[in-house]
Amino acid sequence: MQGKIVLEEHFALEDTFTDTKRFPDAGQADDLRRRLLDILDIRLGEMDQYGIELGIQSLNSPGIQSILEPAKAVEMAQKANDVLAGEVAKRPDRFAGFAALPMQDPDAAIIEVTRCIKDLGFVGVNLNGFSQKGDADTQIFYDLPEFRPLWAAIEELDVPVYLHPRNTLPSQGRAYEGHPWFEHSGWAFAVETAIHTLRLLASGLFDEHPKLQLVVGHLGERIPFDLWRVDHRISKSPQGIPAKKTMTEYFRENVHLTTSGNFHDETLHFTIDRVGIDRVLFSVDYPFETTEEGAVWFDNANLSEADRVQIGRDNAIKLFKLDL
């Protein structure tokens, strides 16, 4: 399929490039670094080769979210957003941007998201999971009251927020000791992003701000499989949950899911059944997944051509208000 749009695609600055010891194969870490630091060369060539018209780029994880000092987080977010805006400006027909935000300072995050959307022309926000602040052992989730003004500002700007994974903190990761293959994308990413997503939905945030739209990758970080049971058990014991609707209702009204790094027909069809085809969008997760694998799978997935175009292109155009 030609004209595909992708939206979980990552770049890095030298300042945000993180440890790659979990990629031990010869040359793997160097290749990953080269691809993360590049936008207009390798990445664009592969987009051309595999029928991708537009790629919405976001700062690599954990990016700004792991910077302990708020002032430095603000400075690095501004730098990353300026760099991305400069790259997008070179090929606005092929690239768009997600804003990186200094969530360690919610007031500064409001200023930065407003600048990114209104001045830099970005089409949304990317948050790389929970944030740390002051102490490396902190976990700040965005359902907390201090973030409500920021969410109100994002709703007013009318742009989606991509909630992207980050790894579990070492102090919280005893279950992974001796089993490093389940850290990061093997399992831990999904666990962290799933509970953060559910916290946001359960907090009443989307009742207060019903126009907000959240995007979650990897076909929902395994939540769709358990949506019925989550709602079932909460209905038996709500324990004062602030949310006025079920998790399933929020998924069908306020959440969008991408195929990033989850290239499997049966999982795709199950997800469509649970949340609706208008809530599913194609993505790759470049460069942690290959453009070839993601695009070839999608182009040959068991879908009608109308459904392929809707997932591969039309849903993104509608969600991000793209002029394509």
Q: Which of 15, 143, 158, 285 is catalytic?
A: 285
pLDDT score at 39: 92
Residue 296: its pLDDT value, please? 98
3-class state of residue 138 by DSSP: strand
* CA 75 from centre of chain: 22
314 in catalytic set = no
Going edge to edge, which strands form the sheet with 52-59?
4-11, 52-59, 95-100, 124-127, 161-163, 214-216, 255-258, 280-281
pLDDT surpassing 70 at residue 22:
no
Which residue from 165, 260, 163 is spatially nearest to 219, judged by alpha carbons?
260
Mean pLDDT of 279-294: 97
The whole-number pLDDT of residue 28 equals 80
According to DSSP, the residues that pair with 5 across neighbouring strands are: 54
Q: Residue 61 pLDDT > 90, yes or no?
A: yes
Mean pLDDT of 230-241: 98
pLDDT at 27 (0 to 100): 72
User: How far apart, in whole angstroms, are the C-alpha atoms of residue 145 and residue 142?
Assistant: 8
pLDDT above 70 covers what percent of the chain?
A: 98
Residue 320: its pLDDT value, please?
Answer: 98
Residue 25 in this model has a pLDDT that exceeds 70: no
User: pLDDT per residue over 94-123, tens digit each?
Assistant: 999 999 999 999 999 999 999 999 999 999
Query: How many CB atoms within 10 Å of residue 180?
Result: 13
* Tens digit of each residue's pLDDT (9 = 90 or more) over 270-279: 999 999 999 9
Q: Identify the structural domains of the chain with CATH numbers, from first to last.
A: 4-320 (3.20.20.140)
pLDDT at 21 over 90: no
User: Averaged over 2-25, what is the pLDDT?
Assistant: 84
**How confident is the model at residue 261, as a pLDDT?**
97
**pTM to 2 decimal places:** 0.96
Does 24 have pLDDT greater than 70? no
pLDDT in tens, 161-190: 999 999 999 999 999 999 999 999 999 999
State the average pLDDT over residues 252-272. Answer: 98
Percent of the chain scoring above 90 in pLDDT: 94
